[in-house]
Amino acid sequence: MSLVDLPRYQLHRAATLEELCQLVYDRVSNSEPVALLAGGTDLMVELGRAASPPDPLPLVVDISCMDELRAIEWDGTRISIGAAVTYLEMQRHPVIAERAPLIARMARDVGGPTIQARGTLGGNLATASPAADGVAALAALDANVLVRSARGARRIPMAKLQTGYKQSTRAPEEIIVAIEFVAPAPDSPWLWRKIGPRLAQAISKVALAAVAELEGGKVTRLGLALASVAPVTALLDHTRALLSRGDLAALDGQALDDAVESDISPIDDLRSTRAYRLHCAKVLVRSFARDLGASV
């Protein structure tokens, strides 16, 4: 898609969230295409890659200025981030910087400054890519995705959001409104590492999001998520169980590697190889284990 094509698209801006939900519901019910536009960093690429414009053209609805989708809220326990909040805004927000530094650090690695100024978490989640940085970070925080339609609202746990490559449990008429999670305890260990070309500004070869809470030398909360190593964001169930079990100082490094390998299914593609992704995943998980006090 180029600027020459823009006049061919019908553009709309809904005044309220209720109006937006009804509009999307009506169009989906009538099999009429609709596309929500916040930052456009995914939509413009998808339309540009197409050999020809879609037929019929979707109604493009601008949601970038909708107040209901742009708030960052903190109630002392939970953080809520609106779907249309940009990565740059997340980087600069004092509550996120202090209580969810994993999110702030991830936001610094999403493309370059121009992408960070336009891209949003809602768009990242809607695309449902297994390489999505935001999806991995939110999964490590055990976040919930608040979606809404003309039929009502519901919360989808991150662990149940993705069902396959770029597929999710969100219904076509459901709009992502916000993402919410319980903030980790102050000074909790966390890690965000993204391995990729151009100082990690491109799509990741491998990325790890991790956060933990410790009490008496034992893990009481643990979130792990790897991007680009499976058809969906890998939540590392076996690895979580191993790190949460007993004395970290007695953890066996080979057992940790084996757990990681059982949790992921990387492939060879244009961006990397299975062997390299597997090696990086094990190195990153071991690094976080050492941060927790494990001798691996």
- pLDDT of res. 49: 66
Instruction: Please report whether residue 296 resides in a domain.
Output: no
Same domain, 120 and 73: yes
- pLDDT of res. 51: 62
Note if the pTM is more than 0.95.
no
User: Could you report the per-residue pLDDT of 40-87, keeping only the tens digit for each?
Assistant: 777 766 666 666 777 788 999 999 999 999 999 999 999 999 999 999
Instruction: Please report whether residue 36 resides in a domain.
Output: yes
Dig out the tokens for 97 from the structure.
């910087």
User: Is residue 170 scored above 70 in pLDDT?
Assistant: yes
**Between these two residues, 2 and 138, which has the higher pLDDT value?**
138
CA distance 127 to 170: 11
Same domain, 254 and 166: no
- pLDDT of res. 218: 87
Same domain, 170 and 254: no
Instruction: Please report whether residue 162 resides in a domain.
Output: yes
Domain of residue 107 covers 67-182
Dig out the tokens for 241 from the structure.
């169980």
Cα angle 67, 155, 21 (rounded to 5 degrees) comes to 45
- pLDDT of res. 48: 67
Cβ-Cβ contacts under 8 Å for 18 (sequence gap 6 or more): none
Confirm if 261 and 282 have CB atoms less than 8 A apart: yes
Maximum mean pLDDT: which of 77-91, 113-127, 214-228: 77-91
CA distance 141 to 125: 14
**DSSP-derived secondary structure letter, 248:** G
Q: What is the mean pLDDT of the chain?
A: 92
CA distances from 241 to 156, 203, 263, 286 (A): 23, 29, 11, 15
CATH number, domain containing residue 204: 3.30.390.50
- pLDDT of res. 3: 47
- pLDDT of res. 2: 52
**C-alpha atoms less than 13 angstroms from C-alpha of 180 in its C-beta half-sphere:** 16
Query: Is residue 170 packed enough to be buried (19+ CB in 10 Å), middle (13-18) or exposed (0-12)?
Result: buried
User: Could you report the per-residue pLDDT of 266-286, keeping only the tens digit for each?
Assistant: 999 988 999 999 999 999 999
Same domain, 132 and 237: no
What is the arithmetic mean of pLDDT over 182-200? 88
Same domain, 175 and 72: yes
Same domain, 44 and 19: yes
38-42, 167-171, 236-240: range with lowest mean pLDDT: 38-42
CATH number, domain containing residue 142: 3.30.465.10
Bridge partners (DSSP) of residue 60 are: 11, 35
Same domain, 156 and 83: yes
User: Could you report the per-residue pLDDT of 128-156, keeping only the tens digit for each?
Assistant: 899 999 999 999 999 999 999 999 999 99
Same domain, 53 and 113: no
Q: What percent of the chain has pLDDT over 90?
A: 76
What is the arithmetic mean of pLDDT over 8-13? 87
Instruction: Please report whether residue 276 resides in a domain.
Output: yes
Same domain, 172 and 234: no
| Residue finishing a domain among 182, 202, 230 | 182
* The pairing of beta strand 175-182 with beta strand 144-149: antiparallel
User: Is residue 200 scored above 60 in pLDDT?
Assistant: no
Confirm if 229 and 281 have CB atoms less than 8 A apart: yes
13-17, 202-206, 208-212, 222-226: range with lowest mean pLDDT: 202-206
Same domain, 160 and 231: no
| Residue finishing a domain among 126, 157, 182 | 182
Instruction: Please report whether residue 49 resides in a domain.
Output: yes
| Residue finishing a domain among 136, 153, 182 | 182
Instruction: Please report whether residue 112 resides in a domain.
Output: yes
Instruction: Please report whether residue 159 resides in a domain.
Output: yes
Confirm if 222 and 212 have CB atoms less than 8 A apart: yes
Same domain, 211 and 260: yes
Same domain, 23 and 76: no
* Count: domains in the chain: 3
Instruction: Please report whether residue 33 resides in a domain.
Output: yes
